[in-house]
Amino acid sequence: MSKPEYQSIPEMMKSVLTASQPVEYHYHFQGKWNHYSAVEFLEQWQNLSWALHDLGLEVKQTVAIMAPSSPFWILCDLATQTCRGWTVPFFLNLSLENFEFQCRDAEVKIIFIDDPNNFNNDQKKLLQKVETVICFHNHQDLPKALSLNDLLHKGDELKKADDSNWFDNEISKLQRDDIATIVYASGSTGFPKGSEISHGNLLFQFESAQTIFQVDSEKDVVLSVLPVAHIFERMAVYYFSSQRLPIWFGSEPKLIGSYLKEVKPTSVTMVPRILERLYEALTSSAQSARGIKKFILMGAIRYARSGDPLNKSWRWYVWNALVYRKMREALGGRINLIVSGSSALNAVVHRFLLNIGLPVYEGYGLTESSPTLAAEYKDHINIGSVGPAFPGVKMRIGKDDEIEVLSPGNMRGYHNNPEATKEAFCDDGWLKTGDTGYIDENGYLFITGRLKELFKTSTGKYISPVPIENEVMRDPFIETAVVIADNKKFTSALIFLNHVQCAAFLRKTEANYDPKVATQSKRIKHRIDRRIKRVNSKLNEWEQIKKWVILPDTMTPESGLLTPTLKIRRHKIDIEYSDAIENIYGKDIDAEV
């Protein structure tokens, strides 16, 4: 029997919260897990909707949420949508410049935040420019701010004093074509653009996901560690909610090791950086092991890195009994579904995780497509690809090898930006992704680069940096590689080390490891040199990295060098490391690095 076709996210959520086996939420706060029942959630959702209505929230007005991932984030989202307002997610690491722009561009009337004490003085000044600020905690520490708890009590009083069934009536007015949210995606240059995503866009994602990702509401448990401000995680949370799976929200991705052991989830959504951290944690101990233990660990790791996960040899069964089973147990022991999105997953890491028995499915999408366009799933894995087209999505390769898509998930357009909207679509309505790639004979999509991230050297040659960077970063010692070539006479690279792997390699503890010393290590340099030479052997002469330099820093969104979704801000790199770049090109090209 097919599932009912809902008209809106609130209609779908109301259904799963009132089912005989409703969705249940848990959240990590102040060092412990807290339960949030379906009955409590539904009641508070009704109360907050009433309170926002009383505050004067009108149809098509915008409400921002700038808070850690938790059921309360979802609560605020649903209450806003119930009032037929538009939710605008804000990342916690949003720059002051982008915060101010997004508030102005979306005309934000109300903003939900967690705790004003988590904001610095400059941020607080910007917060107070918003008409209404609602705090989950410590509202008294921000002048004129309101308390979420006070609003919930107020809403309860309003609900009890009214017998018009207002809440249900408002939900019934919502239609699939109505805008649910405006999601700003930070590009590598300029201000972000806000994608207008409808209820129908998001509902399409859930309806398609359930045809390829089979879950069991009786057995499966979900761990959510990514920011719900990201359209990928928000879609995942609503999808798992629609399947009535219990969801445990962990707001600190760095604590994922502890969360996995405590929650023992079966399903997790992750980004490559977190998967790479798990890979590091599972492999770093081999460096310091001794004797037969080191022999066994290194043998198992070598096999996991290179073996064919789809055709297990007898060796796999040996390594599984000795090593892989223990690795899975260290991650909770029950994982049967990991979906990776946001950026490309290192092929070595992907193969390793598959070989130790973790089913990692890589996906591809855009904020503008809300988000999924292609995804691997059971029996449909091809390492290096991002899987076949998502059910209901059509893909084609257009001019200059650009991937173009026709999907029910495609956005309505960019908010307040008709020119950019026109540029984003082909004349026949297909969305231009801005990514280049190809589709193989089996329908698997392979991403080869970004159309706009195409460098032209001073000699007139064109270079796509992303594929080169991805190849370099296949070495686990390299956290980030940034190719430099635009308007330059040859290609070079800035190398940022993975300090966890390097510390283990150099047999240093966290206390006595110095990143600056590591950049000068002959052993580290030799390893990087071997990797660069291996990559160069596959490239055209003009694409080959002639010079490279290791830098001691770690790139983060907080530094401004990465976007909130961990993409490289190339113009910021050019400014921040102008001296290093000048040193590369200021010397004789034939000099050895």
State the pLDDT confidence band at 586, using cuts at 50, 70 and 90.
confident
Cβ atoms of 130 and 103 within 8 Å: the answer is yes
Q: Among candidates 81, 268, 236, which has minimal Cα distance to 170? A: 81
Distance CA 499, CA 556 (A): 14
Structural domain contains residue 187: no
Distance CA 459, CA 392 (A): 44
Q: What is the pLDDT of residue 2?
A: 46
437 lies in the same domain as 518: no
Structural domain contains residue 4: no
Q: What is the pLDDT of residue 190?
A: 66
Q: What DSSP string runs through 272-331?
A: HHHHHHHHHHHHTHHHH--HHHHHHHHHHHHHHHHS-TTS--HHHHHHIIIIIHHHHHHT
434 lies in the same domain as 350: yes
Structural domain contains residue 121: yes
Q: Among candidates 111, 42, 52, which has minimal Cα distance to 84? A: 52
Question: CA–CA distance from 98 to each of 192, 219, 318, 402, 556 (Å)?
Answer: 8, 42, 53, 28, 16
Write out the two tokens for 101: 């722009």
Q: In CATH, what number is assigned to the domain containing residue 334?
A: 3.40.50.12780
Q: In CATH, what number is assigned to the domain containing residue 534?
A: 3.30.300.30
Last residue of a domain, one of 450, 470, 505: 450
Q: What is the pLDDT of residue 462?
A: 76
Instruction: Give the three-class secondary structure for 588.
Output: coil
Write out the two tokens for 447: 């991403």
State the pLDDT confidence band at 188, using cuts at 50, 70 and 90.
low
Cβ atoms of 378 and 392 within 8 Å: the answer is no
315 lies in the same domain as 292: yes
Write out the two tokens for 165: 């069934």
Q: What DSSP string runs through 152-201?
A: HHHHHHHHHT--S-HHHHHHHH--TTSEEEEEEE--SSSS-EEEEEEHHH
Q: What DSSP string runs through 99-156?
A: HHHHHHHHTEEEEEES-GGGS-HHHHHHHTTSSEEEESS-GGGSTT-EEHHHHHHHHH
409 lies in the same domain as 472: no
Please confirm whether the linkage preceding 418 is cis (ω < 30° from 0): no
Q: What is the pLDDT of residue 272?
A: 85
Q: What is the pLDDT of residue 307?
A: 92
430 lies in the same domain as 545: no
Total domains present in the chain? 3
Q: What is the pLDDT of residue 94?
A: 83
Q: What is the pLDDT of residue 83?
A: 98
396 lies in the same domain as 495: no
286 lies in the same domain as 434: yes
CA 500 to the chain's CA centroid: 22
275 lies in the same domain as 418: yes
Percent of the chain with pLDDT over 90: 71
Q: In CATH, what number is assigned to the domain containing residue 31?
A: 3.40.50.980
* Crossing angle between the packed helical segments 347-355 and 291-306, to the nearest 10 degrees: 110
Cβ atoms of 70 and 249 within 8 Å: the answer is yes
Residues 490-503: pLDDT tens digits?
Answer: 999 999 999 888 88
Mean pLDDT of the chain: 91
Task: Taking residues 272-279, report their average pLDDT.
Answer: 86
State the pLDDT confidence band at 547, using cuts at 50, 70 and 90.
very high
State the pLDDT confidence band at 341, using cuts at 50, 70 and 90.
confident
139 lies in the same domain as 169: yes
Q: Name every residue whose Cβ is closer than 8 Å to that of residue 135 and which is 6 or more positions away in sequence.
A: 112, 113, 114, 115, 116, 142, 145, 146, 147, 148
269 lies in the same domain as 151: no
Cα-based angle 527, 532, 533 (whole degrees, multiple of 5): 100
Q: Name the burial class of residue 558, with classes exposed (0-12), middle (13-18) and buried (19+) by CB atoms within 10 angstroms of its CB.
A: exposed
Distance CA 149, CA 143 (A): 17
Distance CA 589, CA 584 (A): 9
Indicate whether 562 pLDDT > 80. Answer: yes
As beta bridge partners, residue 524 has: none
Query: Residue 166 is part of which domain span?
Result: 9-174
Task: Taking residues 295-301, report their average pLDDT.
Answer: 93
Indicate whether 72 pLDDT > 80. Answer: yes
Write out the two tokens for 433: 């992704």
Indicate whether 405 pLDDT > 90. Answer: yes
Q: Name every residue whose Cβ is closer than 8 Å to that of residue 113 and which is 6 or more positions away in sequence.
A: 66, 67, 119, 127, 133, 134, 135, 136
Give the end-to-end CA distance of the chain in Å, rounded to a whole number. Answer: 65
Q: Among candidates 366, 377, 357, 566, which has minimal Cα distance to 473? A: 566
515 lies in the same domain as 421: no
Structural domain contains residue 184: no
Structural domain contains residue 350: yes
Q: What is the pLDDT of residue 11?
A: 98
Distance CA 305, CA 353 (A): 8
Last residue of a domain, one of 104, 139, 174: 174
Residues 514-526: pLDDT tens digits?
Answer: 888 889 999 999 9
* Total residues belonging to the chain: 593
Q: Among candidates 209, 262, 219, 280, which has minimal Cα distance to 240? A: 209
Residues 80-133: pLDDT tens digits?
Answer: 999 999 999 999 888 788 899 999 999 999 999 999 999 999 999 999 999 999
Q: Among candidates 61, 52, 57, which has minimal Cα distance to 86? A: 61
Question: CA–CA distance from 30 to each of 74, 147, 246, 248, 349 (Å)?
Answer: 19, 19, 21, 15, 33
Distance CA 268, CA 259 (A): 11
Percent of the chain with pLDDT over 70: 97
Structural domain contains residue 249: no
Structural domain contains residue 99: yes
Indicate whether 161 pLDDT > 50. Answer: yes
State the pLDDT confidence band at 342, using cuts at 50, 70 and 90.
confident
Residues 30-48: pLDDT tens digits?
Answer: 899 999 999 999 999 999 9
Q: What is the pLDDT of residue 587?
A: 47
Q: Is 401 left (phi over 0), alpha (psi -120 to 50) or beta?
A: left
Write out the two tokens for 581: 């770049």
Helix (H) or strand (E) holding 401: none
Residues 227-273: pLDDT tens digits?
Answer: 999 999 999 999 999 999 999 999 888 899 999 999 999 999 998 88
Buried b (16+ CB within 10 A) or exposed e, 418-453: eeebeebbeeeebbbbebbbebeeeebbbbebbbeb
Instruction: Give the three-class secondary structure for 416.
Output: coil
Structural domain contains residue 234: no
Indicate whether 380 pLDDT > 80. Answer: yes
Q: What is the pLDDT of residue 591?
A: 33
CB atoms inside a 10 Å sphere around CB 538: 11
370 lies in the same domain as 500: no
Q: Among candidates 205, 206, 181, which has minimal Cα distance to 195? A: 181
Q: What is the pLDDT of residue 592?
A: 33
Cα-based angle 7, 430, 464 (whole degrees, multiple of 5): 125
Last residue of a domain, one of 412, 428, 450: 450
